[in-house]
Amino acid sequence: MLALCVACVGPTDRTFVTGRILPRQIRFVTLREATPGEEGGQRSACIHVRLTRANTSESVLCRFGVETPLHNVEGPISTALAQRIAADRINEATQANFSAATIASPLGMLCESVKATLRTTVPASIAGAKVPAVCHERALPVHFGDFTL
């Protein structure tokens, strides 16, 4: 488990974001191989992020999947590239959504905001990628947290 503080409350009740998810921490499993020379194949990762409010210990587990093709219209997509793009988009989404949070922001809504951002940015970065609300059963969850508010 990686201990990060993604949205910490400062002395002014504003939040700030520290820490980063590293590409190597995103663990993809191949669900379906690609047919040589054709688009397709599928890999999946499962992400669990624990969001915790520091002043009340309220906690929410934010879960989502990241699925990418192994080969799309742009060519083959290596696992390393998929990991880098997934980590970058998750870091950007948490930065954008949590930096606007306050100590009163509902944790569940912050989770949903991050997932909504990822549903746009991940497919924009890798054609054919998806961010499902439920992880594929073969993808083992990678736990990140506590992300403390």
- DSSP structure string for 20-45: ---GGG---EEEEPPPTTSSB-EEEE
Residue 86 domain-assigned (yes or no)? yes
For residue 102, the SS3 value is coil
Domain assignment of residue 2, yes or no: no
Does 48 reside within a domain?
yes
Please write the tens of the pLDDT for every residue from 54-97. 777 788 899 999 999 999 999 999 999 999 999 999 999 988 88
The alpha helices in the chain, defined as continuous H runs, are 79-98, 107-125
Q: Number of structural domains, the chain?
A: 1
Looking at per-residue pLDDT, the higher value among 76 and 148 belongs to 76
C-alpha angle 24-127-135 in degrees, rounded to nearest 5: 55
Residue 135 lies in a domain: yes
Does residue 108 form part of some domain? yes
The answer as to whether 63 is a domain residue is yes
Q: Comparing 5 with 31, which gets the higher pLDDT? A: 31
Q: How far is CA 3 from CA 49, 57, 82, in A?
A: 10, 16, 23
CA distance 32 to 47: 20
pLDDT in tens, 100-144: 888 788 989 999 999 999 999 999 999 999 999 999 999 999 988
Asked if residue 3 is part of any domain, the answer here is no
